Chains A and B, each alone.
Chain A
Amino acid sequence: MNSIECFNLSKTYRGKGESKEALKNVSFSINSNGVFAIIGKNGAGKTTLVRILATQLMPSSGTAKINGLDIITDEKKIRSQIAILPQEAKPVPWMNPRQNIFSYMLWRGFTPKEAIARADKAIKYMHLEKVAKEKNESLSGGMKRKVLLATVLASEAEIIFLDEPTIGLDPISRVEIWNIIKKLKKDHLILLTTHYLEEAEELADKIAILNNGRLVAMGTLEELRHKIPYQYSIMTYTKNIKKIRASLSGCKVVKGKEKTQILANKEIANRITTLLVKKNMVFSRSPVSLYDIFYYFARTEIGENDEEE
């Protein structure tokens, strides 16, 4: 079983006369295979965290362990066990997918014979046979991402870092990549960063929320739901709100032009739904989504959750 443990990881980038704290005392522990998603806004520190864990960047303070090996002192041993698909990576344009995977396998130290066998296996696994000998530059964005995923999964790495793997892809290509990640997670620990919340919801076994370099929450989706005061989301028409306003104390109301979202705990949600049924109003009720949880933590950081309607 694979593991990642962080102990007070911090990173400060120093420029000319100014410095930026990208990570602030991040600590967590993951001790099982599966997908661990890190979500956060642009600039939240996701890529910095991944680059530190993938031994590309030294932390300013703190440390981390990958399968029990220290990222500062055991980098060589760690690099045999990890692979990374960086944000905005592209396959080499003048090569074809097979050459791309083959050369990366050579870089990982496999003999040409082993490297070819691994490249062919990955191409088959990813259903890339039809494009295996086409130049990478002629492939679509989704196909290029599949080639890069095939490149990292052809390796022997047990821990794979995927930094925003579906950014800029159309919905169909995105679902294809999700399906591959779902297959991979059975025998890998995949650390995935994304700012697509539905991606984390779909794939992740555990989710961490980074905000301004701080780890503000972590757990399964269900655990995260219980870390905020609201567990249910009720959607109804904005015009209905006036008629039930008296029952909304203790809720968070997010008004839209046409529809309004009411966030509430179980007891209040039950009370409101009973009222909506009695008044014969159209509504839907569901557990709060990762979107709601994420926005709760993001707003708490900037003080917007202080006021409740």
Chain B
Amino acid sequence: MRRSSISQIYAGVLVNAIYAMENYPIMLLNSMLMPFSMLVVITLASRGALIGVSILGAFISALVSNGILLQADISHLKNDLKLQEMIVSSPTPQINYVLGMALSELVYTSPTLLVLFVLALLFIHASIVGAAIAALAILLIFVIATAIGYMFSTFSLDIIQTWGFAGMISIIFSTLPPVFYPITYIPMPYRYFAYLSPTTYAAEIAQNAIGFISLTPLNIAIDWAVLLAILFVTLAVAIKMSRWREM
């Protein structure tokens, strides 16, 4: 029989996003809390001067947080419900399972993204090309976060272990980097610490693309090179290390 990859990807979206959203709508509020609370705090502290960059930061924060959350979601399905075991012993290829689960995180974040999109239309006046570049940079950091989240989930033996990893990754990806404000706000030499996080490069590209900061062409090229290098390395490590069939 011919098997539908679209069905297999759709299954992940249904289980981890649509049915979950239907049954636990309160979780949607939870996914909005972090990005919106930071957005409000930074906007108030800057007396409205940083509202645009904060909206951009909220986009990054929402996607990165939910990308990392994939680790906990998959760990729950794998360790607590044993659903992943049922799927491994079925015709579902690993890639379709991961794509479906990653897409489910995007769908789960969609109400937050929709509100932010409306705010962005009101407060950010960027060109279409600038917006597209910013969106691409944010999408890449989401892919990196989900790849890391998935890889760790395959090693986790229980959800408590996952929370420990997720907390650390979350700090590296969304707390340490300057996503809600320009990197120039961090005094030297502490600025270099921010460059330890891949999110910093995506944030710089996005902030530059919509005109909040002005980078030299060389800086932009370095940011893209580092971001793409991290993406490829992360994907390669995730593909190599992730456990589908255990050894």
Contact = CB atoms under 8 A, between A and B. Distances in A.
Contact of B90 (A83, A92, A93): A83
A161 interface: yes
Nearest to A58: B247
Given A86-B82, A95-B19, A103-B11, A108 B89 contact: no
Residue among B3, B20, B81, B90 with max Cβ neighbours from chain A (10 Å):
B90
Contact of A108 (B3, B82, B83): B3
Contact of B83 (A54, A58, A89, A161): A89
A84 interface: yes
Contacts of B82: 86-90
A260 interface: no
B76 to A, nearest CB: 9
A79 B245 contact: no
Contact of A79 (B7, B14, B23, B89): B89
B91 A103 contact: no
B7 A109 contact: yes
B85 interface: yes
A283 interface: no
Contacts of A110: 3-4, 7
A266 interface: no
Nearest to A71: B245
B10 A86 contact: no
A89 B86 contact: yes
A89 B80 CA distance: 8
B4 A92 contact: no
Interface residues on A, range: 35 or more
B246 A58 contact: yes
Interface in B45-88: 77, 80-83, 85-88
A76 B245 CA distance: 11
A132 to B, nearest CB: 14
Given A56-B85, A76-B91, A92-B83, A107 B8 contact: yes
A89 B85 contact: yes
B24 interface: yes
B118 interface: no
B88 A115 contact: no
Contacts of B2: 109
B86 A79 contact: no
B245 A57 contact: yes
A218 to B, nearest CB: 23
A115 B10 CA distance: 12
Interface string B1-31: 1111101101110110001100110000000
Nearest to B11: A106
B110 interface: no
B183 to A, nearest CB: 40
A4 to B, nearest CB: 14
B242 interface: no
A152 to B, nearest CB: 7
A85 B83 CA distance: 9
Given A56-B245, A92-B15, A106 B10 contact: yes
B8 A54 contact: no
Contacts of A87: 82
A104 interface: yes
A86 B245 contact: no
A80 B91 contact: yes
A94 B23 contact: yes
B86 A85 contact: yes
B15 A90 contact: no
Contacts of A43: none
Contacts of B89: 54-56, 79, 82-84, 161
A112 B13 CA distance: 13
Nearest to A60: B247
A119 to B, nearest CB: 12
B92 interface: yes
A82 B8 CA distance: 17
Question: 5 smallest A-B Cβ distances: which pairs?
Answer: A109-B3, A106-B11, A89-B82, A94-B23, A54-B89
18 contacts: A55-B245, A57-B246, A57-B247, A58-B246, A79-B89, A85-B86, A89-B82, A90-B82, A92-B81, A102-B14, A103-B11, A104-B87, A108-B3, A108-B92, A109-B1, A109-B7, A110-B4, A156-B1
Interface of A: 51, 54-58, 75-76, 79-80, 82-95, 99, 102-104, 106-112, 115, 135, 151-152, 155-156, 161
